[in-house]
Structures are given as C-alpha cells and as structure tokens.
Structure 1
Amino acid sequence: MDRTRTDAPTAPVETGVLERIRTGASDLSEAMSKVAGQVLADPEAAARATIMDLAELSGTSPGTITRFCRHLGYDGYAALRVAIATETGRASARHETGWDVNIGREIGPDDPLDRVLKQLITIDAAMLRDTIDTLDLAAVERVATRVSAAGRVDVYGVGSSATVARELQMGFYRTGVAAWAWTEVHDALASAALLGERDVALAISHSGTTAETIEMLSEAGTRGAFTVAVTACPEAELAEVADVCLASAARRTSHRADLLASRHSALLVADLIHIAVAQRRFPAASEALESRARAVVGHRPTPRPRNGAG
C-alpha cells in the first residue's frame, strides 16, 4: 500500500483537470501515477467510476485515490469526478453533476418506485452473494473463538458503520459477552487504552480508510488486544493494522445505493460472527438469552383475545 507523502495540495486553477494531470504526472508518486494513467486513458470511465472502481482499475487503493485528489486541489473524489465529467461533456445535462454523481446512473429521477425497488434489490442481492463467495470462513472461526473467550470486546465504527457496530455489540451482549460499541473517537481511544491480551477489538469500515477507526483499532492493538477489521477493502490501511481481516463484498456500481447494500453485507458478516460466538458459548449463551427474556417479560404487552374469545 502506497504511503508516499506528497506536497500540500494546490487549489484548482482554470486549466482543465486532464491537462493538469498530464503536465504534473512527473511530480506524482508511483502509485498516484497509476491513477493518473488510468484517468487519462479513459476519462469518461473515471467520471462514472466510484472511488473503489478507480482503485481497482488502477491497481492502487482508495487511500491513494484520495491523496491523488488532494494533490490536484480537490476536497475528495466526488469533486474530481464532477470536474472530469464537466470537461468530458458528461455534465451537459443539468442533473449530471448532481444526480449522477451523488445518486447514480442506474436510477433516474423520474423512475417509478417499482423499478427503483427492483434496482435496489438487485444491487443488494448481488453484494450479499459476493460476500458469501469471498468471506474467509476459517478467519470467522478464529475470530469467534477469540471473542467467545474474551474478557471484554470493543466494537468500533463511525458514520454509517456505526449502525453495524451497534448491531454486532448487541448481538454479543445478548449472548452474555461483555461488549461495548464505540462510535466516537475520544471515548473509543479511552476504552481501547484499557484493553489487554485477553480482549478483542473489532473495527468496521466499508472503505477501510476512515482515520478515526484506524486509530481506534491501532490503539487496541498496541495494548495487546486481538484486533479484527471488517471492511470491503482488505488492501486498505485498516486491514493492515488488524490481526485478522474479514472482507465484506464491495460490488462497485455508479449507484449511491451500493453504500446501503455494503452496510447489509457488513451486517451479514456481523450476524455470522455473532451466531458463531453463540454456538461456542452454548449453553451459557442460551441461559443469557433466557435471563434477558425473563427480565423484560413484565414490560411486554398482554396479547389481546381473538374475536369471539371470552
């Protein structure tokens, strides 16, 4: 993974982005040169691609793409896509720089909801299938074994990954595992600093490049905890700082809904870990579930009698 430092980014100027990439190619690191070559070889494809598309096409990583954007003076990849799309003429339609970049080309603003629903299901199902095909079950077994015997478990995730982190923590908690979910970096680092060799830390990040999540997992690792990354990008930095990486699928489309589908893919991995842990903790897990059920039974509504019943 390329970690070559570059000079501070310069603000975009009036010169076209493609010309600036051509003239500045000699100043790029080896990895960023690959990105530049891919963009120049097919600018229209680059304008349609997601950040992970371009990383795969160029043989680099999402982190390299981000550094490439900043080197050109853009805040992120979305801004670069807009600039390329504008220059190549794809933005001639008014919605190109808004809808196509932020929502996607597969669904139009005037599409009926039945088509939208089918498109969402297609993307979701494809990503779940990819997860099934690519997930390392031996690695899941290893993680489940460590979690089931852990003194305590930290689960980290920020942004959209926070939802998955909370679900995984609750799954552990329901089966009697002492687990906490941390979605804010200060609290997470404070917790990670208290972990030890008997403990486990799991970090969830679709891109694997979220700086806060990487910092959380790194801190846990320095304290001796067994560290796990759940990410769609096993080549990203989060995976590099983890003892084990569980790769959820990242079916890359130009559709914003792939982010929702990626969350479902990560949830599938989380559910599998949770159930594998419960299996290893049986019957203690079953007793924990029954104890929880008894504790809240008084707060469950009394079923209403059916029509005609006394």
Structure 2
Amino acid sequence: MELLSRIRAEQADQPEALRKVAEVILANPAEAARSTIVDLAERSGTSTATITRFCRALGFGGYAELRVAIATETGRTARQRWETDIGQEILPDDGLDRVLGVVSGNDIRLIQQTAAQLDLAMVEKVAEAIAHAGRVLLFGVSSSAAVSSEMEHRLQRIRIPTWSRSDAHSALSDAALLGHGDVAIGISHSGRTREVIEVLAEAGSHGAITVAVTSHPSSPLAEVSELVLATASRETTFRAHGFAAIHSQLLVLDVVYVSVAQRTYERTREAFDLTVRAVEGHRLSEGES
C-alpha cells in the first residue's frame, strides 16, 4: 500500500496523538516532507517523541526515513496528477465534460492505487480457499451489497456454491451453518459496519475461513478476519467513500475470481460452454432487430 494511503487508512484506529500527526501530514504532505521533526511536532501539537513513535508504527527507523518516503511519493503523485486529476470538487453548474473528467480521473487513480498495493500472496490464499470451498458466503450492505451480488453471480457461473446476502439476519443464519472448509467474505469500505463484523465473527467461530475486503486494513472487520484484501478509496463531490470504493472492490474481487477460474480451469470451461448454449436462443442473430 502506498504510504499516504496507508496513513489515511490507519488514521482512525490510532491513538489521539498519532492521529494528530497523521492529520497534519495528510493535510499537506509536501510541506511535511520539508519540515523538521521539531516543526512537525509543533504543527501537530505533539512532541518529537510522538513523531518518532509515529514513524516506528509505520515501520521506519526514524523521521528522516519518513520524510524521504513522503517526498518520493508526493513527487510521483505530482507527476501523475496532470494526467488523471482535474480537481476533486464538482459544482452544481459544472458541465458534464468536467464531471466526466473528475469521476473518470478519480476512478482511474483509485484502481491504480489498489493494484499497486494489492497483496498478491493474500489473493492466492483467498482464491485457493474459494476453489476448494464447500460453500462461500458473501455479505455487504448498502453499496457493498451490489459488489457482493456481482461476485456471487461470477462464482456461481463457474460452479462455486456461493450465496450473497444483504440482510443481516439471513447472513447471520447462513454464517452459523458454515464450517471448516467454507469461506465467508465480508465487504465494507470502512471496516466498521457492525452487521458485517458480526457475520464474519459468527462464521469464524464455526471454523470457516473469513475474508475482509476493506479500505481500512487495521479496522475492526480486519481484526476478526483471517485474510484481508485492501482497497483504495477517495471521495469526490456527491460520491462518499463507500460509493467511491466500488470500483476498487470490484477490481480486487475480479482478480480473485480469475484466480479461482484458473484453479478450476476444466470445470470452468465446461460451465461456460453449458451456460452459453443455455441462453443462446435469447440472443438476436446478426441482422435481427
């Protein structure tokens, strides 16, 4: 995961003092990269010891290493931004050309960030578990429910016994019936949706493999999950974080789906042949209208 995305994702779960440091860095990363440790401590209302603790929590030996990492990332982002970003704000009287530019630029950038930070070893573990699962349960609410339903359709198409739920009671009932060798996947941008956390905790208590798809890898959902797939998200006007995360969530799950299909190649190919023939009569031929 890119450094600033990681700081943003972990910010809500940090102690107050470290959260203040994160806020100052995220507000102006370029300035933070130019600041001394004393400057950053003063601007965040903390101490130099807190800055050092913040650096170590991110895996850096000291503040000098953090400054270099921030400077490197902000420099790279500045070079890329002119290609993918014309600004985050959309005003009521903006034309559709600007709307299209903001929305598409944001989605492209988030997909790139998600791809760059995706743990492929974790994807392989998830795909392997799904390929051999007796049952797969998918659960998400609100916008995540649509992502869950799409993944259900894809896995069912290749003969993976999969159920998607958007109702918490139904999901909890299904989770209680899972066992060893089954998989439960919870989708939540924030990682703080109570119903999703409860469903994965229930599934895990019965021995199922639990998977979190979230933009916050240190969230409560991640803590109750055996495997975590991290996504990137950043809001624009009229698109709160949950909505902005949809494309990133779909990307991650699509990579998982293809990896499952690779592991079940013969079965998948046969399933595709059967389903294509089943619906062939409902497609218009060339020249029909």
Give SS of 1:155's match.
strand
**Partner residue, 1:146:** 129
8 Å Cα contact 1:123/1:258 also seen in 2: no
TM-score (norm 1): 0.65
Give SS of 2:186's match.
strand
- Structure 2: 5+ residue stretches without partners: 1-13, 28-43, 45-86
1:236 aligns with 2:215: no
Q: What is the distance in 1 between the residues matched to 2:141 and 2:217?
A: 18
8 Å Cα contact 2:235/2:244 also seen in 1: no
Aligned counterpart in structure 1 of residue 244 of structure 2, from 261, 267, 280 = 261
Q: What is the distance in 1 between the residues matched to 2:260 and 2:99?
A: 37
Q: 1:300 Cα deviation (Å)? A: 2.8
Give SS of 2:184's match.
strand
RMSD value, Cα: 2.6
1:184 aligns with 2:167: yes
Distance 1:154 1:302, change over 3 A: same
Aligned counterpart in structure 1 of residue 256 of structure 2, from 273, 278, 284 = 273
Output one character per residue of 1:16-68: Cα deviation in whole Å (capped at 9) or x when no partner.
xxxxxxxxxxxxxx9356657988x89xx6xxxxxxxxxxxx9xxxxxxxxxx
1:197 aligns with 2:188: no
Q: What is the distance in 1 between the residues matched to 2:102 and 2:21?
A: 32
Q: What is the distance in 2 between the residues matched to 1:120 and 1:254?
A: 8
Which is higher, the Rg of structure 1 or of structure 2? 1
Q: 1:209 Cα deviation (Å)? A: 0.6
TM-score (norm 2): 0.69
**Partner residue, 1:299:** 282
Q: What is the distance in 2 between the residues matched to 1:31 and 1:289?
A: 51
8 Å Cα contact 2:136/2:182 also seen in 1: yes
Aligned counterpart in structure 1 of residue 139 of structure 2, from 156, 159, 168 = 156
1:31 aligns with 2:15: yes
Q: What is the distance in 1 between the residues matched to 2:264 and 2:237?
A: 40
8 Å Cα contact 2:157/2:272 also seen in 1: yes
Give SS of 2:189's match.
coil
After TM superposition, where is structure 1 displaced by more than 6 Å over at least 4 residues in a row?
Answer: 36-39
8 Å Cα contact 1:120/1:257 also seen in 2: no
Give SS of 2:164's match.
strand
Q: What is the distance in 2 between the residues matched to 1:270 and 1:200?
A: 14
Give SS of 1:235's match.
coil
Q: What is the distance in 2 between the residues matched to 1:127 and 1:211?
A: 25
**Partner residue, 2:72:** none
Give SS of 2:245's match.
helix
Q: What is the distance in 1 between the residues matched to 2:274 and 2:179?
A: 29
8 Å Cα contact 1:123/1:257 also seen in 2: no
**Partner residue, 2:151:** 168
Distance 1:243 1:299, change over 3 A: same
Q: What is the distance in 2 between the residues matched to 1:271 and 1:148?
A: 14
Q: What is the distance in 1 between the residues matched to 2:18 and 2:238?
A: 25
**Partner residue, 1:132:** 115
Partner AA of 2:164 in structure 1: A
8 Å Cα contact 2:114/2:231 also seen in 1: yes
Q: What is the distance in 2 between the residues matched to 1:186 and 1:116?
A: 39
Q: 1:231 Cα deviation (Å)? A: 0.6
Q: What is the distance in 1 between the residues matched to 2:88 and 2:126?
A: 38
**Partner residue, 1:285:** 268
Give SS of 1:208's match.
coil
- Structure 1: 5+ residue stretches without partners: 1-29, 46-57, 59-103
Output one character per residue of 1:235-254: Cα deviation in whole Å (capped at 9) or x when no partner.
1011111110000112x356
Q: What is the distance in 2 between the residues matched to 1:173 and 1:263?
A: 21
**Partner residue, 2:100:** 117
Bigger fraction of residues in helix: 2
Partner AA of 2:120 in structure 1: L
Partner AA of 1:233 in structure 2: H
Partner AA of 1:31 in structure 2: P
Q: What is the distance in 2 between the residues matched to 1:191 and 1:295?
A: 30
**Partner residue, 1:76:** none
Output one character per residue of 1:172-204: Cα deviation in whole Å (capped at 9) or x when no partner.
101110000011100000101110101011111
Distance 1:188 1:37, change over 3 A: same
Partner AA of 1:219 in structure 2: E
Question: What does residue range 208-227 of structure 1 map to in structure 2 within 5 Å?
Answer: 208-227=191-210
